[in-house]
Amino acid sequence: MSKSAGSQAAHFVATFVAAPGAALEEPLAVGAVEAAGVRLLDASWLERGVALDIFIETPSHAALKAMEAALCGAPVDIIAQPAATRRKSLLVADMDATMIAEECLDELACVIGKQEAVSALTAQAMRGEIDFEQALVTRVAMFEGVTVEAIEELIGRLSPSPGAKTLVATMSAAGGHTALVSGGFTLFAEAVARRLGFDEFFANSLEIEHGRLTGRITPPIRGKQAKGEILTRLRDARGLAPTTTLAVGDGANDLDMLARAGLGAAWRAKPQVAAMAKARIDHADLTALLYAQGFRREEFVEN
């Protein structure tokens, strides 16, 4: 099938995206739609063997679940959304374990030999089992005396998640605004934002005296509501409709941000987040969020 005038009037588009190195076959995707009892209107490859748009009548939540089940464990993600508003003008993205592979505080804990204690608190906070702000304060206290030089050395070892730079560069080239938001710290976020090409960043500030961390956070603390509030502020400042916003994150402190976005995508997410997000990326890389907007592979901007 190929995209035609009929697809333009479709209520929804389901974008099927395969994991890197995996091959997506059209019969698998079409079969998943048919198995869910959803009427298929048209289909179009965004990148043959990798990403396929299937235009459908508006599906129920149960039908979307049935489509996922019909994939029978194939390493393929499905992002379903209204076709008319799929292209986004604002990207707000989490940093730790989303735009970069690492949790910065966990990595810093390795440097000072406190990995087990810090990682346990991080995991509990990201799963929503303990209060995010209190967990943050407790972890930061463990870093009293760590030098700024040690942090700068760690920053050089941070690795972008697959597709992160392409996602930011392509949306920027298309006229979108991009913001990195983190419940972590400006020392890390500033460097990551610059490296990935974000327009701006938001994070907490660590108190520093004589080149060392004091173990305290400079108020105010950006807690679990801050990311959603930042998204709303950036959206309203640009006069954008809620449907034109995209957010991506992995932890419980991202839930409000994901809920406020037109498309809120859970990236390799904790169970609570995956269950509540509008979309999940479990297999593909972050360029899935470009395919979801209708970008074809040849439109990607690589930096």
The identity of residue 79, as a single letter, is I
H or E element that contains 177: strand 177-185
Set 53, 96, 250, 254: catalytic member: 96
Q: Are 229 and 261 in contact (CB under 8 A)?
A: no
Whether the upstream peptide bond of residue 220 has omega within 30° of 0, thus cis, is yes
Q: Are 46 and 82 in contact (CB under 8 A)?
A: no
Annotation marks residue 96 as catalytic: yes
The identity of residue 276, as a single letter, is M
3-class DSSP assignment, residue 229: helix
Set 53, 94, 106, 256: catalytic member: 94
Q: How far is 74 from 64, CA to CA, in rounded Å? A: 16
Task: Using alpha carbons, select from 298, 240, 252, 236 the residue that is nearest to residue 123.
Answer: 252
Active site residues: 94, 96
